[in-house]
Amino acid sequence: MTIEVRKVVLESVADASGLKSLIEEGVFGADEVIAVVGKTEGNGGVNDFTRILADRAFRDVLMEMGTRPLDVVKEIPMVWSGGTDGVLTPHATVFARVADDASPSGEPRLAVGYSMSEVIFPEDIGRPAMVEKVAEGVKQAMKEAGIADPADVHYVQTKTPLLTMETINDAKSRGHTVVTEDPLESMNISNGTSGLGIGYALGELSTVPAERQIGHDLSLYSSVASCSSGVELDRAQTVVVGNVRGAGGRYRIGHSVMKDALDLEAVYDAIRSAGLDLPERARSTDLNGRLVNVFVKCEADPTAKLRGRRQVALDDSDVHHHRHIKGAVGGVVAAAVGDPAVFVSVAAIHQGPSGGGPVAAIVDLG
């Protein structure tokens, strides 16, 4: 089996016509879709229900055009990141596992695995128990993808639960405490805890961090983690993307790390890592249509400095700093690749270095 991957634009909040067209054109079958990673146009916050609308629209198409039962379709990982601030375009990257008659080249080619962890309780969020549950999910997804060496993993996308007033009260009713009673802050914490779980699973961290380190020791991070959280699930939904020799197909993934919000060279380094030759001073025109998509996590630098210059996003009481940095990094990445339909997500604590973040690129090698 071979991985086919395509990017489609969402023309409205609940638009899945791009997915439907790919199925109708025979690019892949509805029953062959194994994962979706996308951006929706909501506020990116706790109450961003555009994620739910997009999720439902895509699953409805798979039900309409496929033969898998509803309980199976419900389990397909669909990781929706809310918020397309600035120039970002709502879109989705669809992964399918298809039959391929061509003989594999023996070169590294795209492999994708997915898993659902055991239930993550409200009291687990921000604590070592969640790190361990996420890590186990990553290992399961690697096995499902056929990836044995953690060095062959270049992108891990998770979607985990965050805290709401309902789940906070549920934990209290059972005699437990939670790490925060601020639902928005719990988004950062959930993402960061997932990032540490990914790092632990891949050997980037040697031990499970202590609770006091989660959200505080920013020297701990994964270079391939991209974590989102929302109200639509109670487990860690994990998609692992890497390369396997002899997997077949024409796609490959690579990654790099943005050191800060202006590090567009890291975007080109990720594309080079995926196997596309680029000149030393690359431009978007050098990509020649070979880039499928790029996936980036970012965070406003907690020092409120960017290359020695003072930044004020963290002091803004009108617009949350998540929206500032997402719009800014989205502009940098979109300019680098010449396409505003790129995956840029915030709340990147423990995902790449402080003030920066991981960047992964999937390319079509032909």
Query: Residue 320 and residue 98: Cα distance in Å, rounded?
Result: 42
What three-state secondary structure class fits 163?
Answer: coil
End-to-end Cα, the chain, rounded Å: 17
Cβ within 8 Å of residue 140, ≥6 positions away:
113, 115, 238
Instruction: Report helix angle 183-201 to 128-145, nearest 10.
Output: 50
Buried/exposed 284-307: b ≥16 CB within 10 Å, e otherwise: eeebeebbbbbbbbbbbbeeeebe
Catalytic residue among 159, 222, 256, 326: 159
Query: Cα–Cα distance between 213 and 193 in angstroms, integer?
Result: 10
Cα Rg, the chain, nearest whole Å: 19
12 is catalytic: no
Extract the tokens encoding 158: 């998770």
**What tokens were used for 311?**
């930044």
Catalytic annotation on 228? yes
Question: Looking at 194, 228, 229, 273, which residue is catalytic?
Answer: 228
Instruction: Give catalytic residues, as residue numbers.
Output: 159, 228
